[in-house]
Amino acid sequence: LQLQESGPGLVKPSETLSLTCTVSGGSISTSSYNWVWIRQPPGKGLEWIGSMFYSGTTNFSPSLRGRVTISVDTSNNSFSLTLNSVTAADTAVYYCARGGYNWSPFDTWGQGTLVTVSS
């Protein structure tokens, strides 16, 4: 299984960050795993953003709830992250990952993509 993030590397403040994670080597349409976004600000630790099962069950970090959406696209075997009203504090490397049936562990990760919020 491989995961690959894609999307703009630069987003302006107050605009929307959109990233896609393409899954290869396995189907996204499984109830055994969920699909996860995690971020890491430069030089800092890891922050869980949210997770989604193919069935539609989701869970998000309270610190981001209201700004974040995760969706699954079975036709492209991918899932996406949308984060609204971004600020400089949202600058980070964004990782997509696969989570286990009990939401964890995160056993497969994408390589990560740096998103900078700046005008």
**Residues contributing to the site for another protein (CB under 8 A):** 45-48, 51, 59-63, 95, 100, 102-107, 109-112
Q: Which is nearer to another protein, 13 or 105 (CB)?
A: 105
Give the nearest distance from C-beta 56 to another protein in angstroms. Answer: 17
- For another protein, the closer of residues 48 and 80 by Cβ is 48
66: Cβ–Cβ under 8 A, 6 or more apart, which residues?
A: none
Within 13 A of 26's CA, how many CA atoms are on the CB side? 13
Pick 48 or 79: Cβ nearer another protein? 48
Least spacing, CB of residue 31 vs another protein, in Å: 18
Q: Write down the least CB distance from residue 42 to another protein, Å.
A: 12
* Closer of 80 and 110 to another protein (Cβ): 110
Q: How far apart are CA 42 and CA 39, in angstroms?
A: 10
